[in-house]
């Protein structure tokens, strides 16, 4: 614990003595400002006459900051990222497998697949598309337009 006496002028606006305290790097400290009885004995007469005040600043050492187990965190992060990447890489195949199950014998690997936000899957030839909509011709020859905001993904090449 370190106590430093501070003298101020104009009711605490300016410091008369420059207090310099520097803690060790990466160390926790608690700072308290107190006005003790001796400080009051100084402050009352000098404050009235010259607007000079005195207070005590106490710096308490609270011990070192605990070290972060960075190596463990990096390994855990890498493990999680590998799992996410593995799932992400499997997603196109999982979606294609689902489309094969749902479309059955109507599935054609040469035609694009369209997945909708609501879970529907459509397959057909893309006739026209722009930023607002996509026009699809199904295997039975029907043409239908779909809004882009309703489409989750379009897979043009199915391997």
154 band by pLDDT with thresholds 50, 70 and 90: confident
Given a contact cutoff of 8 angstroms between Cβ atoms, the answer to whether 79 and 99 are in contact is no
CB 150 within 8 A of CB 158: no
Is residue 19, in this structure, part of any structural domain at all? yes
Domain boundary among 30, 64, 98: 64
In a domain, 126, yes or no: yes
**End-to-end Cα separation, the chain, in angstroms:** 71
Q: What is the mean pLDDT of the chain?
A: 82
| Residue at which a domain ends, from 64, 99, 117 | 64
Q: Quick one: 60 and 95 in the same domain?
A: no
Would you call 50 helix, strand, or coil by DSSP? helix
Look at residue 133 and tell me whether its pLDDT is greater than 90: yes
CA dist list (Å): 31 to 2, 127, 147: 10, 72, 62
At 29, the pLDDT band (50, 70, 90 cuts) reads confident
Using one digit for the tens of pLDDT, what is the confidence trace for 111-120?
888 989 898 8
Is residue 111 in some structural domain? yes
pTM of the model: 0.44
- CA–CA separation, 140 vs 96, rounded Å? 21
Q: How confident is the model at residue 159 (pLDDT cuts 50, 70, 90)?
A: low
CATH code of 129's domain: 2.30.30.100
In this structure, the answer to whether residues 52 and 106 fall within a common structural domain is no
How far apart are alpha carbons 151 and 159 in whole angstroms?
A: 21
Q: Which residues pair with 34 in a beta bridge?
A: 56
Closest Cα partner for 12 from 69, 40, 53?
53
The answer to whether position 137 is within a domain reads yes
Question: Is residue 19 predicted with pLDDT exceeding 90?
Answer: no
Which value, in Å, is the radius of gyration of the alpha carbons in the chain? 36
- Looking at residue 135, what is its pLDDT? 94
Residue 75 forms part of a structural domain: no
Alpha helices in the chain (DSSP H): 37-50, 70-103
The CA distance from 137 to 11, in Å, is: 83
Residue found by looking up tokens 């600043």 in the block:
57
Expressed as residue numbers, the domain containing 51 is 2-64
**Res. 24: pLDDT tops 80:** no
95 and 48 within one domain: no
pLDDT of residue 140: 83
Q: What is the pLDDT of residues 54-103, one digit of tens each?
A: 888 888 887 776 666 677 888 888 999 999 999 888 887 888 888 888 88
Number of domains in the chain: 2
């Amino acid at each position: 614990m370190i106590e430093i006496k501070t003298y101020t002028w104009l009711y605490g606006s300016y410091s008369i003595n420059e207090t310099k305290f520097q803690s060790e790097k990466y160390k926790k400290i608690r700072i308290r400002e107190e006005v003790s009885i001796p400080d009051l004995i100084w402050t009352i007469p000098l404050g009235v006459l010259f607007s000079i005040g005195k207070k005590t600043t106490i710096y308490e050492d609270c011990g070192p900051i605990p070290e972060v187990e960075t190596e463990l965190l990096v390994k855990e992060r890498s493990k999680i990222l590998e799992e996410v990447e593995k799932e992400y890489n499997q997603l196109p195949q999982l979606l294609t497998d689902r489309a094969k199950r749902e479309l059955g014998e109507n599935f054609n690997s040469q035609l694009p697949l369209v997945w909708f936000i609501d879970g529907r899957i459509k397959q057909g030839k893309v006739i026209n598309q722009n930023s607002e909509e996509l026009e699809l011709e199904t295997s039975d020859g029907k043409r239908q337009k779909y809004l882009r905001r309703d489409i989750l993904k379009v897979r043009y090449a199915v391997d």
